[in-house]
Amino acid sequence: MQDIGMDAFLDAKLHDIPNTVYGTSTVLGSLGVRYLTVHAAGGEAMLRAAVDGLSEGANEANLPAPMTLAVTVLTSEPSASPDLLNERVAVAVAAGCPGVVCAATDLPVIKGAAPDIITVVPGIRPTGVPIHDQGRVATPGDAIQSGADILVIGRAITAANDPAAAAEAIAAEVAHAI
């Protein structure tokens, strides 16, 4: 992926003791992972270990600065309370995470708590596409209009009968929403 100019987004959702997360993140940073997900439920020390390790690994390998993304609440969960979202965003910000992963339905709370944080939004389903195991979904246009910075789109494209046409339709919807 890197050889053809693509960034590596590793959705590892790390969640372990800070020392283990630090070591893992350092190795991943040295390998060129550009985006790494870590569970915000792990707390500030664990998130800080991920941020530091990922950055140090990339720096030692002379690679561009990577981004640690704190996963707030999985989109497979049917709901996320504002109190829990505020708590997880506060932990992410305190630990130095530049971004979070959250459902589109959570964006008002997330952006209210941390207006400048980068939001990565999975659970994207165009109208008429099955929601599968997702509990909180949004169309691409709705997610963009709600303030999403980056959309994670998987099965809506990979499971489509015509993946190229599905991707083109999503891109058109996003362009219209912008």
C-alpha–C-alpha distance, residues 6 and 11, integer Å: 15
Report how many domains make up the chain: 1
- Residue 111 appears among annotated catalytic residues: no
| Per-residue model confidence as pLDDT tens digits over 85-135 | 999 999 999 999 999 999 999 999 999 999 999 999 999 999 988 888 999
Q: At what angle do helices 44-60 and 18-30 cross, to 10 degrees?
A: 30
Choose the catalytic residue: 9, 10, 13, 59.
13
Mean pLDDT of 70-84: 94
C-alpha–C-alpha distance, residues 103 and 80, integer Å: 9
Closest CA to 98 of 67, 56, 129, 127: 67
| Per-residue model confidence as pLDDT tens digits over 7-43 | 999 999 999 999 999 999 999 999 999 999 999 999 9
Whichever domain contains 16, its CATH number is 3.20.20.70
CA-angle at 74, arms to 69 and 158, nearest 5°: 85
Q: Domain span at residue 107?
A: 2-177
